[in-house]
Amino acid sequence: MNRKEQKELTKKQIFETSISLFIEKGYENVSIDSIVKSLGLSKGAFYHHFVSKDAILIEFYNNMIDDLVADLLTVVKTNRQLAAQDILERIFEKISLFCAEKQRIIKIIISDSYKTNISLEEVFIHEVSTIIVNVLNMAKEEIYQETTRVSRYTSTLLFYEVKYICLDVKGVYNKENIPKRFRDIFHLIVNGAFKAK
């Protein structure tokens, strides 16, 4: 293995070990010392690849959002023949799955004890809103509001729902009932709060 490959491997090991420790012990309970000790590395090796623990979490969050966006774009691309409402429903299902699978790490990332300069909500809202506006534009004549505004409201609601579920102070959300929560939100958005007269 050459030096470049070794550097990439070391960075990957630090990254993956850090995320595992954050999930297992909680972000605040993991020090840089404990990360490097578990890998048999020096602190210098850590700082050669990352400026802080925060940098690891931010990189992980950005990777998660990139993966989610790729999944959502695949949903749109593979379902273009469907009505916009059906595509939107599949997007909600995908976000529900994302929330259920990543619940523990999302909780760590967005918990009040974790503060960074990056606006995590703005990254999510912007990326998801961009996809939703494209879907809504497929059905412009069926939507009574301007599509950019509707997509922004929808993605903002989705972010705060993901945050609420992942912080789950009462411990009521799990992989079984998270999809129902997102289905309810989908129907509220698509059908509105009131029954048609």
Instruction: Write the pLDDT tens digit of every residue in 67-85.
Output: 999 999 999 999 999 988 9
Region 97-107: what's the mean pLDDT?
90
Alpha helix (H) residue ranges in 40-119: 43-49, 53-78, 84-101, 103-110
What pLDDT is attached to residue 196?
54
What's the mean per-residue pLDDT of the chain? 87
Task: State the total domains in the chain.
Answer: 2
Contact of 58 with 116, CB cutoff 8 Å: yes
pLDDT band at residue 144 using 50, 70 and 90 as cut-offs: low
Same domain, 91 and 3: no
Predicted confidence (pLDDT) at residue 91 exceeds the cutoff of 80: yes
User: What integer pLDDT is reported at residue 148 of this predicted model?
Assistant: 83
Answer positive or negative: Cα dihedral of 97, 159, 53, 169. negative
Q: What is the pTM of this model?
A: 0.84
Q: What is the CATH number of the domain that holds 103?
A: 1.10.357.10
The pLDDT, as a whole number, for residue 116 is 55
Based on the fold, state whether residues 80 and 45 are members of the same structural domain.
no
Q: Are residues 3 and 28 in the same domain?
A: yes
Higher per-residue pLDDT: 113 or 151: 151
Q: How confident is the model at residue 113 (pLDDT cuts 50, 70, 90)?
A: very low
152, 129 in Cβ contact below 8 A?
yes
- Residue 101: the pLDDT is 92
Both 104 and 120 in one domain: the answer is yes
- What are the backbone dihedrals phi and psi of residue 51, each rounded to the nearest 5 degrees, phi first? -80, -20
Instruction: For 16-39, write each residue's pLDDT tens digit.
Output: 999 999 999 988 899 999 999 999
Using alpha carbons, select from 81, 94, 174 the residue that is nearest to residue 131.
Answer: 94
Q: Are residues 39 and 73 in the same domain?
A: no
Looking at the structure, tell me whether residues 161 and 108 fall in a common domain: yes
pLDDT at 143 over 70: no
Q: What pLDDT is stored for residue 21 in this prediction?
A: 95
Structure tokens at 180: 């129902």
* 174 is a domain residue: yes
Question: What's the whole-number mean pLDDT along residues 61-66?
Answer: 92
Q: Per mean pLDDT, which range of 77-81, 151-155, 193-197 is the poorest?
A: 193-197
What is the extent of the structural domain holding 31? Answer: 1-50
Positions of E strands within the chain: none
